Amino acid sequence: MSSVEIFVNGAPHPVPEGQTVLVLLESLQLDPARVAVELDGQILRQSYWKERTLQVGARLEIVHLVGGG
């Protein structure tokens, strides 16, 4: 399977062609319940993560949600 280059938080990151946002988060060992994702300048609802595939040059910003008091 070929790979494509995307950008995650500004850094180049190769992923397999056709990879979804959810699989990317899992490969980065991020808990989907504790992050927010922006894809190409748009907040991406969690309900789309399973179906949204990453295209060449996609730019993701992944923000970790931290609780505290």
pLDDT number for residue 42:
97
Number of helices (H), then strands (E), in the chain:
1, 5
Whether 69 is in a domain gets the answer no
| Radius of gyration from C-alpha coordinates of the chain | 12
In a domain, 11, yes or no: yes
Domain count, the chain: 1
Q: Residue type for 41, please?
A: G
Give residue-wise pLDDT tens across range 1-51.
799 999 999 999 999 999 999 999 999 999 999 999 999 999 999 999 999
Within a domain: residue 38? Answer: yes
Domain membership flag for residue 26: yes
Q: How far apart are the first and last CA of the chain?
A: 46
Q: How confident is the model at residue 66 (pLDDT cuts 50, 70, 90)?
A: confident
- pLDDT given at position 67: 74
Angle at CA 64, nearest 5°, toward 44 and 26?
Answer: 70
Q: Which domain does 43 fall in, by range? A: 3-64
CATH number at residue 49: 3.10.20.30
Strand partners, 12: 7
Phi, psi of 25 (to 5 degrees): -60, -45
